């Protein structure tokens, strides 16, 4: 039975499945050993064009402007985002600081590393935390902007700022870049007709989203996009690629419970934990494998 995206139980399921698929893509994208062939770089480029924008779209879709007062919203996001940010940052700082006594680290941590983490997390000792930090700032800024401007005006303002002035700003650079995806999610949630047009379990929606994404990707590869339009191209690819995965997820959510669906739901449920700690696991496994097979040339496909 085909269901609409607006049903609450189905919405929870397809969102969890989308998060599950998304975090799998994140883990795959972060696997990039020195022996990676060119085709793997191309695959990663496709993944990176939409996997994180999708998480912001999903966050916006789940956001309800009337659910919390502003103070309650901030308290909720401090608990769900800022506490993990601080905890993981402190844990990895201690690990790297202690490791610096034992081995010669290429990028040792110090007090200045904490400042870099807060002002420019992408280029800090724990770059993964940029997403958590950016999402918290978006939740803090968006409701204030919404008091004075509607979604369309906020979206156009952000697109204008990024297209003409860039986003190379400390603290707020990633917010300017990614908040449009968050707002797209809100617009989809608040506009039932638009949501039904964009999100469906119907295979025609899935193929349409794939076709639109592929067209945009081919255009980006085939033509020299002017700098001011490069960001608009990124927005386009982020939205269409996300809708492709979201529609697949919505289709899976309508199926009877099976092993694959259950696994994706579980992965989606723990997506934030996986996001925060998967690189530690990947690095440990990779170092262990390299130590065991240090004298053997292992093909990339078997790594």
- Minimal CA–CA distance to 186: which of 99, 291, 59? 59
d(CA 275, CA 278): 6
Q: Which pLDDT score is estimated for 2?
A: 42
Q: Which pLDDT score is estimated for 230?
A: 85
Helix axes 173-190, 130-146, angle to 10 degrees: 60
d(CA 146, CA 238): 23
Q: Which pLDDT score is estimated for 3?
A: 43
- Minimal CA–CA distance to 251: which of 19, 3, 60, 52? 3
Write out the chain's pLDDT in tens, 303 residues.
Answer: 344 444 455 568 999 999 999 999 999 988 877 777 888 899 999 999 999 999 999 999 999 888 889 999 999 999 999 999 999 999 989 988 887 787 776 678 888 899 999 999 998 989 999 999 999 999 999 999 999 999 999 999 999 999 888 778 888 999 999 999 999 999 999 999 999 999 998 999 999 999 999 999 998 888 776 666 788 899 999 999 999 999 999 999 998 878 889 999 999 999 999 999 887 766 555 555 555 555 556 565 555
Contact (Cβ atoms closer than 8 angstroms) between residue 74 and residue 201: no
d(CA 53, CA 90): 27
Tell how far CA 82 is from the center of its chain: 17
Cα 50-63-47 angle, rounded to 5 deg? 10
Would you call 270 helix, strand, or coil by DSSP? coil
Distances (CA, A) of 96 to 63, 100, 131, 274: 36, 6, 21, 20
Token pair listed for 55: 């998480």
Q: Which residues contact 280 (CB under 8 A, 6 or more apart)?
A: 92
d(CA 117, CA 171): 9
Token pair listed for 98: 């202690």
Distances (CA, A) of 239 to 40, 73, 83, 102, 220: 23, 26, 29, 45, 15
Convert 181-216 to b/e letters by CB count within 10 Å (16 or more is b): bbbbbbbbbeeeeebeebbbbeeebbebbbebbeeb
In order, the DSSP letters of 186-197 are: HHHHH-HHHHHH
Q: Is the pTM of this model over 0.85?
A: yes
Q: Which pLDDT score is estimated for 105?
A: 67
């Amino acid at each position: 039975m085909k269901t609409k995206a607006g049903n609450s139980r189905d919405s929870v399921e397809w969102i969890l499945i989308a998060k599950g698929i998304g975090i799998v893509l994140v883990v795959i994208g972060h696997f990039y050993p020195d022996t990676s062939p060119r085709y793997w770089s191309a695959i990663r480029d496709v993944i990176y064009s939409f996997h994180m924008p999708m998480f912001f779209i999903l966050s916006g879709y789940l956001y309800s402007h009337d659910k919390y007062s502003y103070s309650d919203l901030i308290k909720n996001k401090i608990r769900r985002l800022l506490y993990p940010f601080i905890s993981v940052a402190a844990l990895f700082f201690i690990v790297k600081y202690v490791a610096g006594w034992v081995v010669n680290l290429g990028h040792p941590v110090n007090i200045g590393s904490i400042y870099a983490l807060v002002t420019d997390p992408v280029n800090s000792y724990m770059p993964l935390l940029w997403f958590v930090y950016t999402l918290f700032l978006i939740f803090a800024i968006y409701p204030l902007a919404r008091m004075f401007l509607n979604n369309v005006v906020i979206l156009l303002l952000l697109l204008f700022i990024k297209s003409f002035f860039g986003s190379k700003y400390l603290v707020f650079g990633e917010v300017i870049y990614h908040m449009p995806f968050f707002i797209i999610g809100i617009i989809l949630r608040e506009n039932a007709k638009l949501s039904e047009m964009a999100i469906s379990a119907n295979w025609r929606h899935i193929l349409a989203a794939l076709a639109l994404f592929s067209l945009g990707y081919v255009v980006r590869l085939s033509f020299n996009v002017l700098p001011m339009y490069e960001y608009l191209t990124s927005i386009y690819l982020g939205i269409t690629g996300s809708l492709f995965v979201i529609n697949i997820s919505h289709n899976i959510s309508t199926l009877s419970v099976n092993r694959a669906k259950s696994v994706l739901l579980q992965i989606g449920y723990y997506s934030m934990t996986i996001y925060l700690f998967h690189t530690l696991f990947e690095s440990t496994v990779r170092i262990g494998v390299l130590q065991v097979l240090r004298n053997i040339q292992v093909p990339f496909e078997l790594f």
